[in-house]
């Protein structure tokens, strides 16, 4: 074809434009693929869903050197990120740093809380990015002071603000000398605080039991001065401190300024607890007499544990912890062996002793497997160690009690051979039994008091209030007498705590209870249902009288400010009243409380500082 002809020129231009179009299509396709490859995992929030578990939604990257910064991470190739499938990321003991990322979108603006519920992580950093720009970052962990945490909580909790239709990308960096486990949940604020209240109550009860055991057996030691008791008390004390450190209570309440101690506290508690339990077993089972070789083995274990403690500042934390755990298993297995041997010989106290160490050994093995990421981290796996250890110390306390009974029987048998000595020993024995019986009754009374009353206010706790209320409602139903339930809540209670401190909040709660006690009748029941929420059950009270009582109480609270350290604190209450008569008397107390709670909510929504009454309906 002649290059000078118009046809040739048209053909040449057409070929050029086709090549250019093809090149543009390739570039667009490559850009689209690149964007798709760089897109992080995305979570679309639903306002109706208060909790999201993020473990199986995030992508993670392992930084083996632990040196990568956020700027470097943002430029990492996409293939270096891996999708995580387990509910809770768990990597065992590792020197690596781990990065996690997730993009979150919401249809409307929301305030959420990101909860990393593993309080022993050394370094935790959160970076929030919007449209590729870093808008906020947090740095916390065990290597920092407790007061530096974003929110005052046992674990690591971060506030996350999501704007409507604006994707927010989370980058989380975690590094720890201990077991690297990263349980991640995204909560609504209400759901988080409701759940946290239950957890804190359970932990408080748990430590209440431990403290009761310590005090009870310390008293026994002061009475009998037997070494087994004091070593048991010291062991339970180390065990309690270990659980406090494990759950974050220790760092929050006991040593919040001691960052160094927080790093080594668990290792110290494990080693010292093992030392004390070795000495306890030595005296409790009388090893020099019953198993001298085992006694020598436990003495050697004590020396090794003390050597590990001395070497702790000069070696790696996780090496000492792993060695201490190995020693714990050896000591537990040895103690279990001796317990079985004495049980077979007919020693009654060895029965409790053996069961205690069997429970403890199972709990420790399961906990170790979970910490080394052999077993997944679950609620059951996390709870088996505290529960197993609690069962062990309770059974050991029972074994100590059985030992007392055994010694008592031996004394009685010896007294049968010598009449004069029998009378003398009989008097001493009766005196000791009487004293111990009195102490047991006091302990039981104290335990009953702890189990039925609220420690802050002295009124009924929720469980006992429901029990007593159920009984009184049945009586009212039988005789067809009207009753009423008042449910009240302090308005803006958080402002009191934030402005004057938690001690002022406690004083305000006591102040409220004092007024309620002064105004209620002797037949009325009052109980603390939780936090700043209270319930009052009014017997033989009509709807009109119940509203009058509630209004009188509201006015008294409003007109009686709290004098706290020279400051006058004024607060108000909102009340929901449920009146019950006729067929509604078939309602259970839980249903009545639910109706009163709805009325309380209506009072809150209507402006607070008021009384809303609704009739109970079956």
Which residues are tagged catalytic?
Answer: 532
Closest CA to 244 of 235, 255, 233: 255
Tell me how far CA of residue 72 lies from CA of 68, 420, 471, 550, in angstroms: 6, 89, 66, 63
Q: Is 158 helix (H, G, I), strand (E, B) or coil?
A: strand
Token match 């009124």: residue?
A: 459
* Other residues' Cβ atoms within 10 Å of the Cβ of residue 124: 25
Residue 63's closest CA among 120, 103, 118, 123? 123
Residue 616's nearest CA partner among 575, 583, 588, 579 is: 579
At 147, list the tokens.
């007061």
Instruction: State the SS3 of 553-615.
Output: HHHHHHCCCEEECCEEECCCEEEEEEEECHHHHHCCHHHHHHHHHHHHHHHHHCCCCCEEEEE
**The two three-digit tokens of residue 270, written as one number:** 């494990």
Under 8 Å between Cβ of 220 and 400: yes
Alpha helical stretches, state H, 453-492: 462-478
Nearest residue to 266 (alpha-carbon basis) of 367, 151, 395 = 367
**In angstroms, rounded to a whole number, what is the distance separating the alpha carbons of residues 36 and 45?**
21
């Amino acid at each position: 074809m002649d290059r000078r002809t118009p046809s040739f020129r048209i053909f040449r231009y057409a070929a050029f434009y086709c090549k250019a179009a093809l090149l543009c299509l390739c570039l667009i396709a490559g850009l689209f693929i690149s964007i798709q490859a760089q897109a992080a995992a995305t979570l679309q929030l639903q306002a109706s869903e208060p909790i999201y578990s993020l473990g199986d939604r995030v992508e993670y990257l392992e930084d083996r050197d632990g040196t990568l910064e956020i700027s470097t991470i943002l430029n990492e190739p996409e293939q270096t990120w891996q999708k995580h499938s387990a509910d809770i990321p768990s990597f065992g003991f590792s020197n690596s740093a781990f990065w996690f990322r997730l993009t979150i979108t919401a249809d409307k603006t929301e305030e959420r809380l990101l909860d990393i519920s593993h309080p022993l992580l050394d370094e935790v950093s959160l970076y929030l990015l919007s449209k590729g720009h870093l808008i906020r970052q947090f740095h916390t962990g065990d290597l920092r002071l407790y007061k530096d945490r974003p929110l005052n909580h046992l674990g690591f909790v971060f506030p996350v603000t999501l704007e409507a239709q604006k994707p927010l990308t989370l980058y989380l960096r975690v590094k720890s000398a201990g077991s690297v486990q990263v349980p991640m949940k995204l909560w609504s604020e209400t759901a988080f605080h409701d759940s946290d209240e239950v957890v804190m109550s359970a932990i408080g009860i748990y430590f209440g039991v431990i403290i009761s055991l310590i005090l009870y057996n310390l008293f026994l030691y002061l009475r009998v001065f037997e070494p087994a008791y004091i070593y048991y008390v010291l062991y339970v004390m180390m065990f309690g401190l270990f659980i406090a450190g494990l759950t974050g209570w220790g760092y929050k309440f006991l040593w919040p300024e001691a960052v160094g101690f927080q790093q080594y506290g668990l290792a110290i508690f494990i080693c010292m607890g093992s030392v004390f339990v070795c000495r306890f077993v030595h005296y409790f089972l009388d090893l020099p007499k019953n198993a001298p070789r085992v006694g020598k083995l436990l003495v050697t274990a004590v020396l090794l544990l003390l050597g590990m403690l001395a070497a702790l500042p000069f070696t790696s934390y996780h090496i000492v912890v792993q060695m201490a755990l190995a020693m714990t298993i050896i000591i537990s297995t040895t103690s279990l062996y001796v317990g079985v041997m004495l049980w077979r010989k007919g020693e009654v106290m060895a029965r409790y002793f053996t069961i205690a160490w069997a429970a403890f050994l199972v709990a420790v093995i399961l906990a170790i497997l979970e910490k080394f990421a052999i077993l997944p981290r679950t609620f059951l796996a996390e709870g088996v160690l505290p529960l197993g250890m609690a069962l062990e110390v309770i059974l050991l306390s029972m074994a100590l009690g059985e030992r007392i009974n055994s010694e008592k029987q031996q004394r009685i048998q010896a007294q049968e051979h010598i009449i004069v000595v029998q009378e003398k020993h009989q008097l001493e024995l009766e005196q000791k039994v009487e004293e111990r019986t009195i102490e047991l009754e006091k302990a039981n009374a104290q335990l009953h008091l702890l189990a039925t009353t609220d420690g802050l206010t002295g009124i009924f706790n929720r469980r006992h209030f429901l029990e007593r209320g159920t009984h009184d409602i049945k009586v009212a139903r039988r005789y067809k007498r009207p009753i009423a339930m008042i449910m009240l809540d302090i308005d803006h209670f958080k402002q009191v705590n934030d402005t004057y401190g938690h001690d002022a909040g406690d004083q305000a709660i006591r102040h409220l209870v004092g007024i309620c006690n002064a105004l209620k009748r002797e037949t009325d029941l009052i109980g603390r249902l939780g936090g700043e929420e209270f319930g009052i059950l009014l017997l033989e009270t009509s709807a009109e009288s119940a509203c009058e009582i509630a209004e009188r109480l509201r006015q008294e609270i409003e007109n009686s400010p709290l004098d706290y350290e020279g400051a006058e604190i004024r607060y108000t209450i909102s009340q929901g009243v449920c009146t019950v008569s006729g067929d509604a008397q078939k309602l259970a107390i839980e249903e009545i409380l639910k109706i009163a709670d709805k009325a309380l909510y209506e009072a809150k929504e209507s402006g607070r500082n008021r009384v809303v009454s609704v009739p109970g309906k079956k």
